[in-house]
Amino acid sequence: MLARSAASGSVMFKDQTAIVGIGQTRYGKALPESELELGCQAVLSALEDAGLRASDVDAVGCFTYEKTPEFELARNIGFGELHFFAQSPYGGGAACGAVGQVALAIAAGIANVGVVWRSRKRSGADTRLWSGVEERISDHWKWSRPSGLVRPVDEVAMIARRYMDEYKVTREQLAEVALAQREYANRNPAAFMHDRMLSTAQYLDARMISDPLCLYDNCLETDGAVAVVLTRSDRAHELRQKPVLVHAFSQGMTREHQVMADYHGADPLRSSSYVTAANLWRQADCGPSGVSVAQFYDAFSPLVLFSLEAYGFCARGTAGQFVAEGGTRLCGRLPVNTSGGSLSEVYLHGMNLVVEAVRQVRGTSTAQVSDVDFSLVTTCDSTPNGALLLRRA
């Protein structure tokens, strides 16, 4: 237990770095640019936002799922000589890990200016990972895919049905996740679903994708890119934007975890988010009650319910009621996924949620929560994951 009792080193990390730039491309279907070009656009936009030059960049973070290698991005944009590059694994679980690793490198004095980007062209049907399943499966998916749990939505549907049965959560309650986020997207001109309303009747009439989950419980299939720029907090004040401090960071993986088809631990409803949350709050100067806005990874709407509970905003089994009572709306206790999120803004493996978490601290969201001191952003509940707690300087 030595490692656990000694884990009090957060003072070395807390508030030492800041997100000083954010950038994004337009979002859409079948965008003509390559993923590399979209990535360049997002990074250049984030550097412009920060008031930093490409040659200032000496650290890069990305997802292991990113198809563009760091050197291609670096030589297309003209980064300086790089001192740190790290990739974060597990797809939807990766965004906060990618940002957190670069923040750690900067806080430790290894690098000065870091960029983290995610670029993705996902709108074509042949780009979906599940469509590339091979005739013989040799990894852990051999225990579920041959029975027809092939897509991520199928894997989440299994957990969602158990959760809904155990806690008597109705489809009408679950609908509120998608409806609240669509309303946020309707306020956000950049959101893919900006112009499209969604009603309860539409939700309840929608076709099932993996029962009990319907079309609107699934994230968008879109193209786009986003990026953030980080540097040391003591340098951030010289820059163009109000700095957003990286207050706390953790990754998390339960014992006996199995990616996506996470069915073999002691309690499959106690996900890796519980691990991440405990270590995040251990470091933080506040608990859940000090947080007034959150971005929860939402490739599938039940993940929002699971995360509300895992991060301590609702008791176990009560998130359905919380959302049904408007708890995640702009007037609610905890506005959630205020740009529209993966369900209604854009699906970029959750990296757009990091950008929105920054906007909420800056005061520039299209669904701005007042007086944000702490802004939480998390990653996928079904995979090994991570979270960042951001803070107003």
Partner 1 sequence: MIDTLPLPSTEDLTDAPFWQAALRSQLAIQRCDHCNRMRFPPRLRCSSCQSVQSHWHVLSGSATVWSYATPRRPLLPAFEKIAPYFVVLAQMDEDPLIRIVGNLACEDGQLVTDLKPVGLKIGAPLRVCFRLCAPDVALPCWILTATSPKGS
The site for partner 1 (CB under 8 A) is made up of 125-126, 130-138, 140, 142-151, 153-154, 157-159, 161-162, 165-166, 207-211, 255-256, 258, 261, 263-264, 266, 268
Please state, in angstroms and as integers, the Cα–Cα distance from residue 197 to each residue in 194, 203, 344, following that order.
Answer: 8, 11, 10
What DSSP character marks residue 119? E
What is the closest distance, in whole angstroms, from the C-beta atom of residue 255 to partner 1 in the complex? 7
Instruction: Name the residue nearer to partner 1 (CB basis): 145 or 182.
Output: 145
Instruction: Name the residue nearer to partner 1 (CB basis): 110 or 150.
Output: 150
Q: Distance between CA atoms of 137 and 20, rounded to whole angstroms?
A: 43
How many angstroms separate the first and last alpha carbons of the chain? 35
What is the closest distance, in whole angstroms, from the C-beta atom of residue 337 to partner 1 in the complex? 24
Q: Residue 299's CB: how many other CB atoms inside 10 A? A: 25
Q: Distance between CA atoms of 114 and 103, rounded to whole angstroms?
A: 8
Instruction: Name the residue nearer to partner 1 (CB basis): 345 or 381.
Output: 381
Catalytic (active site) residue 297: yes
Q: Distance between CA atoms of 216 and 230, rounded to whole angstroms?
A: 34
What is the closest distance, in whole angstroms, from the C-beta atom of residue 316 to partner 1 in the complex? 17
Catalytic (active site) residue 347: yes
- Residues across the chain: 393
Instruction: Name the residue nearer to partner 1 (CB basis): 41 or 144.
Output: 144
Q: Distance between CA atoms of 193 and 373, rounded to whole angstroms?
A: 29
Instruction: Name the residue nearer to partner 1 (CB basis): 117 or 216.
Output: 216
What is the closest distance, in whole angstroms, from the C-beta atom of residue 343 to partner 1 in the complex? 18
Q: Residue 212's CB: how many other CB atoms inside 10 A? A: 16
SS3 assignment, position 275: helix
3-state secondary structure 159-189: HHHHHHHHCCCCHHHHHHHHHHHHHHHHHCC
Q: Distance between CA atoms of 50 and 133, rounded to whole angstroms?
A: 41
Instruction: Name the residue nearer to partner 1 (CB basis): 213 or 387.
Output: 213
Q: Distance between CA atoms of 375 and 273, rounded to whole angstroms?
A: 17
What is the closest distance, in whole angstroms, from the C-beta atom of residue 168 to partner 1 in the complex? 12
Q: Residue 127's CB: how many other CB atoms inside 10 A? A: 13
**Residue 336, both tokens:** 């959630």
SS3 assignment, position 149: coil
Instruction: Name the residue nearer to partner 1 (CB basis): 97 or 302.
Output: 302
- How many CA atoms lie within 13 Å of 82's alpha carbon, on the beta-carbon side? 19
Choose the catalytic residue: 203, 216, 274, 297.
Answer: 297
357 close to 326: Cβ distance less than 8 angstroms = no
What is the closest distance, in whole angstroms, from the C-beta atom of residue 335 to partner 1 in the complex? 31
What is the closest distance, in whole angstroms, from the C-beta atom of residue 129 to partner 1 in the complex? 12
Catalytic residues: 297, 347
